[in-house]
Amino acid sequence: MNRYPILLTTICVIFYCQSCGQEKQSTGKIDYPKLREQMVQQQLIARGIQDTTVLAVMRKVPRHLFVPEKYRAEAYNDYPLPIGEGQTISQPYIVALMTESLKLKPQEKVLEIGTGSGYQAAVLAEITKNVYTIEILPSLATTAAKRLTELGYTSVKVKCGDGYQGWKEYAPFDAIIVTCAPEDIPKALVDQLKDGGRMVIPVGEIPNQMLYLVEKRKGTVVRKGIIPVLFVPMVHGK
């Protein structure tokens, strides 16, 4: 299996088939735990995800509850899915890759830009209770906050706002993860990153985007390319 697939996180190509995610128990219900395990084995481990904590989290978080009901049978398939407002929930592999690249530790403080469905925030919250997430679209922010609370992720703080500005009130952050692509790394996010902190961020315009691991070392930003990706553009608030 190709370790570096084309990761469609914005231009959502949905492949419909009769068997998509249709692993069922004898009761006729979809066996979501089985689908999660298949996802981990076939999409994550097979492509080189090795962090045992990340793999355990991906096995645990109920991804199907973060997508519209009509797409739940496809929630563990190898592509993104629509979540409304022209946005998507990222491909499972890209969620795992970005999370692994952060090397997040318990008790560290992490900021997410682009809450979307809330799935990435839930994944982060399984590793640390100090999760802060910003979504620019009010409807998504409201829905994600409600969903996270209902699923027990009550420590996650959700804000509707401009991700370019970060969340100065709670800065500095040990880690920042950005799930939308600016043309360049926003200065406010660099300023709010602790010295020695890490940021995972897609940068560039479609179709020439690169996912970067950014480290702040004594005030200097060092970036390392990970893989080419496609993300929705990051937009400024009004």
* Residues designated as active site: 90
Give the SS3 label for residue 101: helix
Cβ atoms of 202 and 211 within 8 Å: the answer is yes
The rounded radius of gyration (Å) of the Cα atoms in the chain is 17
Tally Cβ neighbours within 10 Å of residue 201. Answer: 25
At position 191, the amino acid (one-letter code) is D
In whole angstroms, give the CA distance from residue 157 to residue 98. 20
Q: Is 156 exposed, middle or buried (0-12, 13-18, 19+ CB in 10 A)?
A: buried
How far is Cα 36 from Cα 30, in angstroms, rounded to an integer? 11
Q: What angle do CA 114, 183, 215 make, to 5 degrees?
A: 75
The answer to whether 204 and 182 have CB atoms below 8 angstroms apart is no
Q: How far apart are CA 60 and CA 54, in angstroms?
A: 10
> 86, 42 in Cβ contact below 8 A?
no
Nearest to 63 by CA among 125, 139, 120, 13: 120
Q: Which residues pair with 7 in a beta bridge?
A: none
